Amino acid sequence: MRAFALLSALAFAAHAEDATAPEAEALRAMDAFMAAFNARDVEAWIATLNFPHVRIASGQVAVFRDAAEFRNNFEFARFAEQTGWSRSEWTERRVIQAGPDKVHVAVVFTRFREDGSVLARYESLYVVTQQGGHWGVQARSSYAP
């Protein structure tokens, strides 16, 4: 009985450790990022980022120094109208490297149309960091246009 209790305690401790691991924090931040993006909620989306935020795509490096700069450079309605996008989801996520305050995640994300058909699928790399206790997406290098 004592052995069972000890094993249970160890299992609980291991689980608790997993839950607080940087990888888990980074993936949670990315879940929140995607939820906010799909909800077209720019403030919630900004809350999932760390600044300065860097986006590398199409050979260009875009650096957003703060939330205000980011807010002024993205509009969900225009994005949806131009691309036919309705929602996105993570199709694949793979932690490449991880440290106490930074996790590198290789992802595949899929964009869907309103009718559920696939609009596009892209690979990307996310650098997720912890700044002042806040885990957020610091940089992305995407193969999307």
Partner 1 sequence: MGLRRIAGLVAALACAVASANEAMAQTTMSPAGAAAMRVLDEQLSAYNASDKQAFLITLHFPHVRIAGNNVRVYPNAQSYLPELSMKQIGWDYARWTDRKIVRDSATKVHVAATFTRFLANGRAVDSFEGLYIIALKGGRWGVLARSSYAP
> Which chain residues interact with partner 1 by CB under 8 A?
52, 54, 56, 59, 61, 63, 96-97, 99, 101-102, 104, 106, 123, 125, 127, 129, 131, 138-139, 141, 143
112 versus 136: smaller Cβ distance to partner 1: 136
37 versus 55: smaller Cβ distance to partner 1: 55
Least Å from the CB of residue 42 to partner 1: 21
63 versus 118: smaller Cβ distance to partner 1: 63
The answer to whether 95 and 23 have CB atoms below 8 angstroms apart is yes
Least Å from the CB of residue 128 to partner 1: 10
Query: Dihedral sign, CA of 136, 17, 12, 91?
Result: positive
Least Å from the CB of residue 124 to partner 1: 8
- Please tell me the distance from the alpha carbon of residue 55 to that of residue 43, in angstroms, as a whole number: 18
66 versus 114: smaller Cβ distance to partner 1: 66
80 versus 106: smaller Cβ distance to partner 1: 106
| CA 99 to chain CA mean position, Å | 17
Residue spans of alpha helices (H) in the chain: 2-20, 22-38, 42-46, 67-71, 76-83
Structure token digits, residue 12: 């609980």
Least Å from the CB of residue 144 to partner 1: 11
| Cβ neighbours around 47 below 10 Å, total | 15
The answer to whether 32 and 120 have CB atoms below 8 angstroms apart is no
Least Å from the CB of residue 55 to partner 1: 10
